[in-house]
């Protein structure tokens, strides 16, 4: 059994959120931690300013996405209602529901084309999630989502620019009016 | 390596569809990473203070584990 960190967990680590630190401390004695290279790409911005994240990541196994994993992850997103998908897909939950086990099912939804919005949530309902990679038990330990945001300011504080990120299904993103100023398109 | 350990490693590696050497390498890597993660958390606690019982209990709750106070 592995525990998988998602991007929200990495953001929380980078912000030195003590709750995620305590979860890591508990998990340390339990199961090896894993993270996907795609998720690291979402959270990693500047190692000189992310010392805590760098140190923690040294102790986390990294996994690469296989060729078809994007399809396997992306296609089930169509089954989720827009509201839920807008705020953040819950891939671990999806993995359980759809019987997609292992790391690919636990990653943030990564269609072939994804839109990444570097937004500061207006309200943050918490972030960081650790999920079991294997096993029938509930995979989502803590969901990472915000309750809403109205604009997407770029960081002006000289920080590394790390923000909680929201992954959007491409089709749904097209119908999302307030996001255009900060949408970036990335090929995964 | 003790024979029982070797046999267990061979069986487990076979169950995972991998070679013994690969399985042992991954086990060693996991152990090393665990050590590094422990070091990272030690530094975190040295800089910000040790995680409190309340924080660990909350973390256990988030992870779906029994509160540490109940386990102990």
pLDDT value of position B72: 53
Could you report the per-residue pLDDT of A55-97, keeping only the tens digit for each?
999 999 988 877 777 676 556 555 544 333 333 444 444 444 4
Q: What is the pLDDT of residue A13?
A: 93
Among all residues of chain A, which has the CA nearest to that of B63? A141
Task: With CB atoms and an 8 Å threshold, state whether A19 touches B48.
Answer: no
Cβ atoms of residues A35 and A10 within 8 Å = yes
User: Which pLDDT tens digit goes with each residue over A35-46?
Assistant: 888 889 888 988
- Return the pLDDT at A69: 73
The Cβ of residue A31 has, within 10 Å, a number of other Cβ atoms equal to 18
Asked if residue B29 has pLDDT above 60, the reply is yes
What's the confidence (pLDDT) of residue A94?
A: 44
**How distant, in Å, are the alpha carbons of A97, A148, A186 from that of A154?**
36, 17, 18
Min CA distance, B54 vs chain A (Å)?
A: 10
Chain A touched by B15 (CB under 8 Å): no
Residues of chain A in Cβ contact (below 8 Å) with chain B: 16, 18-28, 32-33, 52, 55-56, 58-61, 130, 137-138, 141-142
**pLDDT tens digits, one per residue of A126-184:** 444 454 443 333 333 332 322 222 233 334 444 443 333 333 322 222 223 333 232 33
ipTM at complex level: 0.85
Q: Where are chain A's structural domains?
A: 3-187
User: Which contacts of A170-176 are long-range, i.e. CB under 8 A and separated by 24 or more positions?
Assistant: A170/A111, A170/A113, A170/A114, A170/A115, A171/A78, A172/A82, A172/A85, A172/A86, A173/A115, A175/A82, A176/A86
pTM for the predicted model, two decimal places? 0.55
Q: Which residue has better confidence, A103 or A20?
A: A20
């Amino acid at each position: 059994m592995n525990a998988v960190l998602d991007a929200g967990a990495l953001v929380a680590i980078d912000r030195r959120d003590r709750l995620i630190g305590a979860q890591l401390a508990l998990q340390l004695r339990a199961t090896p931690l894993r993270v996907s290279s795609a998720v690291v790409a979402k959270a990693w911005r500047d190692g000189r300013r992310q010392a805590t994240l760098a140190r923690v990541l040294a102790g986390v196994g990294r996994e690469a996405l296989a060729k078809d994993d994007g399809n396997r992850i992306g296609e089930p997103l169509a089954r989720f209602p827009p509201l839920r998908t807008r705020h953040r897909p819950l891939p671990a939950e999806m993995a359980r529901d759809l019987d997609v086990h292992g790391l690919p099912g636990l990653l943030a939804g990564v269609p072939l084309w994804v839109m990444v919005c570097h937004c500061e949530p207006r309200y943050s309902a918490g972030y960081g999630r650790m999920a079991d990679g294997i096993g029938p038990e509930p995979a989502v330990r803590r969901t990472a989502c915000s309750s809403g945001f109205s604009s997407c300011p770029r960081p002006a504080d000289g920080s590394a620019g790390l923000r909680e990120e929201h992954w959007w299904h491409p089709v749904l993103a097209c119908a999302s009016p307030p996001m255009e100023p900060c949408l970036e398109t990335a090929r995964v | 390596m003790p024979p029982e350990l070797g046999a267990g490693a061979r069986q487990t590696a076979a169950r995972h569809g991998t070679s013994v050497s690969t399985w042992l390498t991954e086990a060693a890597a996991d152990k090393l990473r665990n050590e590094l993660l422990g070091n990272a958390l030690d530094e975190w606690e040295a800089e910000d203070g040790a995680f409190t019982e309340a924080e660990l209990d909350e973390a256990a709750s988030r992870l779906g584990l029994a509160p540490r106070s109940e386990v102990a």
